[in-house]
């Protein structure tokens, strides 16, 4: 009899617990639904602000894309249409005349070779110099660390000036009309070095400490442990250096004369086309077209598109490293 009573009480407790759990679940579901409703409910001011932000972003994107689209459209149009009607996104008469003229002229190939060499060699050397300086400065135990950092930072605030720099490179270093004049003057950036140093400072210190316990020296720690896990920072800074080398024209204008036209980079070739007619005459000589019939405006647009093409295509492959690399390098310090 007592067993039956205890069994009934146990059953009652179980039913009560089940009903309480069901009610709790219902309450949780109702609370979650109300939270979702409140979460996605926006006020009129918030909605208006969001619409304004979207419109501003769309207008800004269109303003950034318009010049690029006009360059593409103008490069595929006929010269007479560009002269008569101006530039348009959609060509009135599709033509490849400007591109045929460009690729008949060996100047563009020489400029490509010079730019590719300076970009690859300059980026590799610049990253080697930046990494080997940033890693020691990221170590707190480095002797004279603070004076060295101040010395590098001082160069960001004050420079020697244009005339002393020109005399140093052309007279004392004798780098005029030399391919290395496009590489050495911009081979180190203090800003990029500080970004890389901050990136190294954000890495766990236990990695280097455990490697030192195992008998590794500083070079082994840097090249075998630190660099393999620093791909975001390396890719970001490498892209900065590569863009600087690819887009440079100022050093070519200062230090390369007409006797060194074979060393002209792509960006300076564009400036040479837009400023003088000597380049057009030389191009007409190679292509067999008279200067009068040579497409002037469409040729400039096509040359611009050809020069920016490779670096634009390279950017998407490194874009995934940018956010992580810049975020880590900008927080730590």
Residue 61 CA to residue 316 CA, distance in Å, equals 17
User: Which residue has better confidence, 294 or 126?
Assistant: 126
pTM for the predicted model, two decimal places = 0.72
Name the average pLDDT for the chain.
79
Q: How far is CA 8 from CA 21, 30, 318, in A?
A: 20, 33, 70
Q: Which two tokens mark 248?
A: 């440079």
The tens digit of pLDDT for each residue in 293-312 reads: 566 778 778 888 888 877 77
pLDDT for the residue numbered 294:
60
Residue with tokens 């690029």: 68
Q: Alpha-carbon distance 233 to 325, whole Å?
A: 4
Is the confidence at residue 11, as pLDDT, over 70? Answer: no
Q: Is 239 a residue whose pLDDT tops 80?
A: yes
User: Given a cut of 50, is residue 16 above it in pLDDT?
Assistant: no
What is residue 130's predicted lDDT score, i.e. its pLDDT? 94
Is the pLDDT confidence value at 272 over 80?
no
Residues 176-183 have a mean pLDDT of 92
| pLDDT tens-digit series, residues 160-172 | 888 889 999 988 9
Percent of the chain with pLDDT over 90: 21
Task: State the pLDDT at residue 194.
Answer: 92
C-alpha distance across the termini of the chain, in Å: 78
pLDDT value at residue 276:
61
Q: Model confidence at 274, in pLDDT bands (50, 70, 90)?
A: low
CB within 8 Å of 125: residues ≥ 6 apart: 183, 187
φ, ψ of residue 89 in degrees (nearest 5): -70, -40
Looking at residues 192-213, what average pLDDT do you find?
A: 86
Superfamily per CATH, domain 97-331: MetI-like (1.10.3720.10)
Give the confidence band of 90 by pLDDT, cuts at 50, 70, 90: confident
Evaluate the CA torsion angle 163, 164, 168, 171 in order and state its sign.
Answer: positive
Locate the domains of the chain by residue range: 25-75, 97-331
Confidence of residue 132 (pLDDT cuts 50, 70, 90): very high
pLDDT band at 3 (very low <50, low <70, confident <90, very high): very low
**% pLDDT > 70, the chain:** 75
The answer, yes or no, to whether residue 6 has pLDDT greater than 50, is no
């Amino acid at each position: 009899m007592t067993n039956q009573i205890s069994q009934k009480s146990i059953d009652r407790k179980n039913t009560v617990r089940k009903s309480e759990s069901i009610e709790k679940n219902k309450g949780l579901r109702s609370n979650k639904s109300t939270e979702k409703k409140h979460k996605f409910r926006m006020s009129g001011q918030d909605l208006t602000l969001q619409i304004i932000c979207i419109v501003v972003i769309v207008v800004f994107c269109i303003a950034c894309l318009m010049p690029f689209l006009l360059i593409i459209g103008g490069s595929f149009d006929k010269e007479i249409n560009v002269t008569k009607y101006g530039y348009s996104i959609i060509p009135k008469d599709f033509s490849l005349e400007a591109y045929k003229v460009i690729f008949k002229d060996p100047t563009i190939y020489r400029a490509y070779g010079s730019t590719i060499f300076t970009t690859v060699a300059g980026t590799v050397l610049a990253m080697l110099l930046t990494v080997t300086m940033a890693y020691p400065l990221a170590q707190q135990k480095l002797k004279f660390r603070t004076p060295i950092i101040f010395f590098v930072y001082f160069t960001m605030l004050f420079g020697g000036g244009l005339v002393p720099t020109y005399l140093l490179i052309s007279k004392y270093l004798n780098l005029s009309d030399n391919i290395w004049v496009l590489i050495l003057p911009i081979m180190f950036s203090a800003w990029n070095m500080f970004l890389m140093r901050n990136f190294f400072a954000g890495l766990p210190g236990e990695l280097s400490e455990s490697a030192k316990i195992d008998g590794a020296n500083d070079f082994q720690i840097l090249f075998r442990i630190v660099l393999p896990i620093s791909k975001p920072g390396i890719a970001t800074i490498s892209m900065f250096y590569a863009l600087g080398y690819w887009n440079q024209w100022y050093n070519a204008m200062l230090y390369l004369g007409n006797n060194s036209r074979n060393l002209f980079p792509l960006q300076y070739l564009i400036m040479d086309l837009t400023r003088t007619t000597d380049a057009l005459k030389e191009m007409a000589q190679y292509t067999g077209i008279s200067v009068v019939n040579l497409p002037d405006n469409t040729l400039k647009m096509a040359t611009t598109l050809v020069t920016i093409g490779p670096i634009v295509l390279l950017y998407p492959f490194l874009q995934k490293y940018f956010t992580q690399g810049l975020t880590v390098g900008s927080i730590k310090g």
